[in-house]
Amino acid sequence: MSRTNILIVINLLIFNLGLFGVAYKKSHVRVEQLPPIVHTEPIIIKPEEPINYTISNPKPDYLNNESTFEQLVKWNKEAPKITEIGTYGKSSRGKDLYYMRVTNFKKENKKVVMITACIHGNEPLASSTVMSYIGTILDQYGDDQQITSLIDSRDIYFIPVVSPDSYPNSRQVDGVDPNRDFPTDRSPDKKSVPPVRALQEFFLKIKPDAVISGHTSGRLLLTPWGDRTELCPNESDYKRIIGEMSDMCGYRRMRACQIYGTPIYGGEVDWYYRHGAFSIVMEFGPHQNIPSRNDIDKEFNMTFKSVLFFVKEAPEVQVQNKSIWRMAS
């Protein structure tokens, strides 16, 4: 091969390598230079199924403490997205102090309401009526517009049996009247009996804006103060809200200090109020016996709408004159 031919071959080789380089670069474009992916098909996000549970036995007959807890567990299984069960301590005899929380857990900025019964254990109609409230609101959630929007905007803690050691036979807990066992401004360091103290600690943890404590009997709505005869700073709110509640259910409105004609010291309604909650006591029904089916239905039918009204209106009140005491240690 002549020298000229060799040079031609070398030139051809160099030229072809150049061409190959251009072709290689074209087929290996870097990722970020790719055009954006355009979806031509619409993305369909399925709306979540609205919550509407079937609740068995929404208005149970009278239940003892163990059966009350079992009923709550059953409802919790039937309505898992709007209920929670928990405990907040133990009684002196080692029984769990339990609550059921009812709320739409997906919603935020909800006012907190606490509804209790049977701090006096021998007032079982209060527990039975409160159990009917719980079962009914779970059953009606998704069907009844008023109840649905209430559960969407409120965080409600129900404690159907506050004093399980006494339920359903005794007013006293550990030898004292539990509704005279709260600290007062006369005895701010008072150490309450275990279930009453546990209730105070639970209250301070969940910080209710409003409280109903269910008692029996007399068909009364009792407002602060219990421990003094002067009007409380929220008297006009009590007059307006509890006055309307009274019109709805037929229960008589009264200040707690008026019920025995003399101030009551160490009562829960004052303690809750002084700690910032718009609180009342509801004295259910005509007697303190084990309630019959008819007793429960009658009390439920009289009061249910008025309690829904309370749950809506009471937490909106600005409670005045808060004085927060130290907890006894």
Contact set with Zn ion (CB under 5 A): 120, 215
CB of 275 to Zn ion, least distance (A): 20
Nearer to Zn ion, 68 or 136 (CB): 68
Least Å distance, CB 156 to Zn ion, is 21
Question: Which of 213, 203, 183, 173 is closest to 91 using CA atoms?
Answer: 173
- What CA–CA distance (Å, rounded) separates 249 from 304? 8
CB nearer to Zn ion: pick between 211 and 319: 211
Could you give the residue ranges of the DSSP H alpha helices within 97-216? 124-140, 145-153, 194-206
Residues paired with residue 220 on neighbouring β-strands, in sequence order: 252, 283
74 vs 180, beta carbon nearer Zn ion: 180
Residue 90, both tokens = 């133990």
Smallest gap from residue 255 Cβ to Zn ion (A):
16
Tell me whether residue 279 is exposed, middle or buried, using C-beta atoms within 10 angstroms of its C-beta: 0 to 12, 13 to 18, 19 or more: buried
Q: Taking the CA atoms of the chain, what radius of gyration do you get in angstroms?
A: 33
The arrangement of strands across the sheet holding 96-102 comes to 83-90, 96-102, 154-159, 111-117, 210-216, 278-284, 220-223, 252-255
Nearer to Zn ion, 121 or 135 (CB): 121
What's the min distance (Å) between Cβ of 120 and Zn ion? 3
What number of other Cβ atoms are within 10 A of residue 265's Cβ?
17
Smaller CB separation from Zn ion, 76 or 217: 217
Residue 60 DSSP SS3: coil
In angstroms, what is the minimal distance from the CB of 119 to Zn ion? 7
Question: Least Å distance between CB 261 and Zn ion?
Answer: 17
Residue whose CB is less far from Zn ion, 120 or 154: 120
